[in-house]
Amino acid sequence: MNIMTRGDIMAEGKGYGKCILFNEHFVVYNIPSIVSAIGDYTLATVEPTESGGVQLVDNRPATPGYKEDKLEHQKDSLRRILDAMDINQDENLKITLGGELYCASGVGASAASCTAMARALNEYFNKGFDDDRINDIAYEGEKGYHGNPSGVDNAASTYGGLIWFVRGENNIFEPISLNEPVEIVMGNTGKVANTKAAVAGVKERKEKEPERYGGLFEDARKLALDARKALEEQDIKKVGELMDLNHRLLQQIEVSDESLDMLVKTARDAGAVGAKMTGGGLGGYMVALTPGKELQDRVATAIEEKGFKVLRTKIGV
């Protein structure tokens, strides 16, 4: 259906980045995970054009090579979003992506862009969709990047806050409350991760060593329960200790790498309460729990002095 645009306006929408605090990869196998939106976001604007159909301009800051590597995924993602919103691909409009979220593997950059575009298009065409529908549309967009996404990234991007997530026939999303947002540092290895390859590697090794992996997965399940309890009790020191343990489990299923391990150690040596890889692994980001601006700056500076870029942001926003 060809929908008439409101040609005299420009619409915009935001999608927040995310940080997986516990159990990336394990989440694929129905193990509980905990994810948080972060303060950094992607902004999408939609405006009318004279011709050319739907055009996408990507002005987001990004790791060198990230946008080029993801270009075909991005095109597929946009097509899926337009289809889900019943918007004709021949509509003459320009979508521009910007904002402060530095795009790299591990911060939910693709989900943030999907959510931002869905919100901007929703406003532009006066669709009147609520957050639940925006989340569904962003999930459809995520399929262009990840094939069979868990749904956790777009949920964090859409709803914000801390989320207990369990993948299943009917995904479980439950909010976890923090009294106030907590500072974190996210260190970027500068390597664009191939999440599909990392997921496939875990699957292959799990099939070869079912007994060992079964034990690791059960440890991850118990750790998630402990982490939820610690967060609900506002026990940030315990949360940090559990992040350290979670990183060890992720090392054991071979999704961390030398660059991530080095940044995790750098953060811990600088006083981080806890630190681990976050996201798909084999590159991308790590995260350090650094309550208080002073500790956040100290850990961020330690990582920057090694020559790596950081995000100073917060969880629980």
On whether both 89 and 150 belong to a single domain, the answer is yes
CA gap 222, 199 in Å, rounded: 21
pLDDT digits (tens, 9 = 90+) for 53-100: 999 999 999 988 889 988 999 999 999 999 999 999 999 999 999 999
Distances (CA, A) of 59 to 36, 97, 99, 177, 310: 25, 5, 8, 34, 19
Helices 71-84 and 109-124 pack at an angle, to 10 degrees, of 40
Q: What average pLDDT does this structure show over 108-133? A: 96
pLDDT digits (tens, 9 = 90+) for 263-294: 999 999 999 999 999 988 898 899 999 999 99
- Between these two residues, 124 and 153, which has the higher pLDDT value? 124
On whether both 192 and 275 belong to a single domain, the answer is yes
**26-35, 142-151, 161-170, 234-243: least confidently modelled range:** 142-151
Name the residue with tokens 């610690």. 230
Residue 5's pLDDT is what?
Answer: 44
pLDDT digits (tens, 9 = 90+) for 179-233: 999 999 999 998 877 777 888 899 999 999 999 999 999 999 999 999 999 999 9
Please state whether beta strands 93-99 and 54-58 pair in parallel, antiparallel, or not at all (unpaired). Answer: parallel
Q: Is residue 273 part of a domain?
A: yes
> 185-202 burial, b if ≥16 CB within 10 A, otherwise e?
bbbbbbbbbbbeebbebb
On whether both 155 and 197 belong to a single domain, the answer is no
Residue 276's pLDDT is what?
Answer: 98
Task: Quickly list H helices, the chain.
Answer: 66-69, 71-84, 109-124, 131-146, 152-159, 195-208, 210-232, 236-252, 258-269, 293-305
Q: Is residue 37 part of a domain?
A: yes
Q: Which two tokens stand for residue 290?
A: 């650094």
On whether both 239 and 223 belong to a single domain, the answer is yes
Report the mean per-residue pLDDT for the chain: 92
Domain residues for 189?
Answer: 182-315
pLDDT of 7 above 60: no
CA gap 145, 142 in Å, rounded: 5
Q: With cut-offs at 50, 70 and 90, classify the pLDDT of residue 2.
A: very low
Name the residue with tokens 């693709």. 110
Identify the CATH number of the domain in which residue 34 sits. Answer: 3.30.230.10
Q: What average pLDDT does this structure show over 27-54? A: 94
CA gap 186, 28 in Å, rounded: 23
Residue 3's pLDDT is what?
Answer: 39
pLDDT of 174 above 60: yes
Q: Is residue 88 part of a domain?
A: yes
DSSP-based helix, strand, coil % in the chain, nearest 5 = 45, 25, 30
Distances (CA, A) of 167 to 25, 29, 155: 11, 8, 12
| H or E element in which residue 22 lies | strand 11-22
Contact 97, 113 (CB under 8 A): yes
pLDDT of 150 above 80: no
Residue 8's pLDDT is what?
Answer: 55
Residue 173's pLDDT is what?
Answer: 87
On whether both 66 and 158 belong to a single domain, the answer is yes
Q: Is residue 1 part of a domain?
A: no
